[in-house]
């Protein structure tokens, strides 16, 4: 669901991925953080959330085990400077300070990622930075 979120005087477009975050959290987000959210039809939103949640449950059943034991390849040698820079980054070090961490290559279709929303301004920024023909 694409929504417009108002922070002070700035409005950002986000896609809120419904069905996985709890229903109450979704409704709270819509009513408190979106433009005109207090006017939203909560019944319709709840129906949309339930349909999305049902879809997620179907995918979970159909793809059970799909993300277990994925093949993790070494990063190509041409990406070694990027790998080293990431490993040396203070944010990376802090984020993974208490667990073993490495960087490799994996088929993204084999991952399960929990994400509540996507900031479309950030998506536009990344697309602009990558260009039309991104490389490794």
- Per-residue pLDDT tens over the stretch 83-122: 999 999 999 999 999 999 999 999 888 888 888 889 999 9
- Confidence class for position 7, pLDDT limits 50, 70, 90: low
- Per-residue pLDDT tens over the stretch 13-35: 888 888 889 999 999 999 988 88
Q: SS in 3 state form for 20-71?
A: CCCHHHHHHHHHHHECCHHHCCHHHHHHHHHHHHHHHHHHHHHCCCCCCCCC
Distance CA 136, CA 133 (A): 10
- Confidence class for position 4, pLDDT limits 50, 70, 90: low
For residue 110, the model assigns a pLDDT of 81
For residue 61, the model assigns a pLDDT of 94
Q: Which of 34, 59, 56 is nearest to 45 (CA)?
A: 34
The domain spans of the chain are 1-67+112-136, 72-105
- Confidence class for position 6, pLDDT limits 50, 70, 90: low
- Per-residue pLDDT tens over the stretch 29-83: 999 888 889 999 999 999 999 999 999 999 999 999 988 988 999 999 999 999 9
For residue 5, the model assigns a pLDDT of 64
For residue 112, the model assigns a pLDDT of 81
For residue 9, the model assigns a pLDDT of 62
């Amino acid at each position: 669901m694409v929504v417009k979120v108002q922070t002070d005087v700035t409005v950002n477009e986000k896609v809120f991925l419904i069905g996985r975050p709890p229903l109450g959290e979704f409704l709270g987000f819509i009513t408190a953080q979106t433009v005109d959210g207090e006017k939203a039809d909560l019944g319709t939103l709840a129906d949309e959330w339930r349909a999305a949640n049902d879809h997620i449950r179907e995918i979970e059943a159909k793809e059970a085990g799909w993300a277990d034991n994925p093949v993790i390849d070494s990063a190509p040698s041409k990406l070694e400077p990027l790998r080293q820079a990431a490993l040396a980054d203070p944010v990376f070090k802090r984020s993974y300070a208490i667990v073993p961490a490495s960087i490799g290559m994996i088929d993204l279709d084999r991952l399960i990622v929990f994400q509540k929303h996507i900031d479309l301004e950030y998506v536009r920024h990344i697309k602009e930075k990558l260009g039309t023909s991104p490389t490794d």
